[in-house]
């Protein structure tokens, strides 16, 4: 008689090494990906912006106004912005009176991009061992979303 240990399959061994990832993304007003930063989940949300701001300042010096989630509010974001340019930031917070699901005016753009990532099989679960590979798949997913949106516009013209 032979046994099968379902807890030690190849995919579960890979999944056991991944403790979690966080994705910080910057999109334009249409929801197209400008920059993505993926790192281990043990880093706080408030510690991610300095890395993101440094990268987008170098690549996109013309950006001036940034909308951010309430999780980024705090002194670390203001300090990071002070060191990287002349930016204004607007923290999009949820209303205290809101009950249930409420669409926030600017934040839905980023949430729509994250939802697009969720429709890609490789990003629905974190199958990738390396952060570089996960970043590459996020970029591939954003290219896929961009080309589909362009194709939709061409069909209706």
**Contacting residues for 22 by C-beta, under 8 A, at least 6 apart:** 38, 39, 40, 41, 43, 45, 48
> CA 145, CA 151: separation in Å to the nearest integer?
10
Residue 2 lies in a domain: no
User: Is the residue at 150 inside a domain?
Assistant: yes
In a domain, 19, yes or no: yes
β-pair type (65-69, 88-92): parallel
Q: What is the pTM of this model?
A: 0.71
Residue 90 CA to residue 134 CA, distance in Å, equals 29
pLDDT, one tens digit per residue, over 31-60 is 888 888 888 888 777 777 778 888 888 888
Number of domains in the chain: 1
Domain containing residue 29: CATH number: 3.30.420
Tens digits of residue pLDDT in 11-20: 444 445 556 7
Helix (H) or strand (E) holding 144: helix 131-155
Q: For residue 3, tell me if it sits in a domain.
A: no
């Amino acid at each position: 008689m032979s046994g099968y240990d379902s807890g030690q399959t190849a995919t579960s061994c890979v999944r056991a090494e991944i403790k979690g990832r966080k994705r910080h993304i910057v999109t334009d007003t249409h929801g197209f990906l400008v920059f993505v930063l993926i790192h281990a989940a043990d880093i706080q949300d408030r510690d991610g912006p300095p890395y993101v701001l440094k990268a987008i300042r170098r690549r996109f010096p013309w950006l001036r106004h940034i909308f951010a989630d309430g999780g980024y509010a705090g002194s670390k974001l203001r300090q990071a912005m002070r060191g990287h340019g002349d930016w204004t930031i607007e923290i999009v917070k949820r209303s205290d009176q809101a009950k249930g699901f409420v669409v926030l005016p600017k934040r839905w753009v980023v949430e729509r991009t994250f939802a697009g990532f969720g429709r890609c099989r490789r990003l629905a679960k974190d199958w990738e061992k390396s952060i570089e590979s996960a970043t590459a798949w996020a970029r591939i997913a954003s290219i896929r979303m961009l080309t589909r949106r362009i194709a939709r516009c061409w069909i209706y013209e």
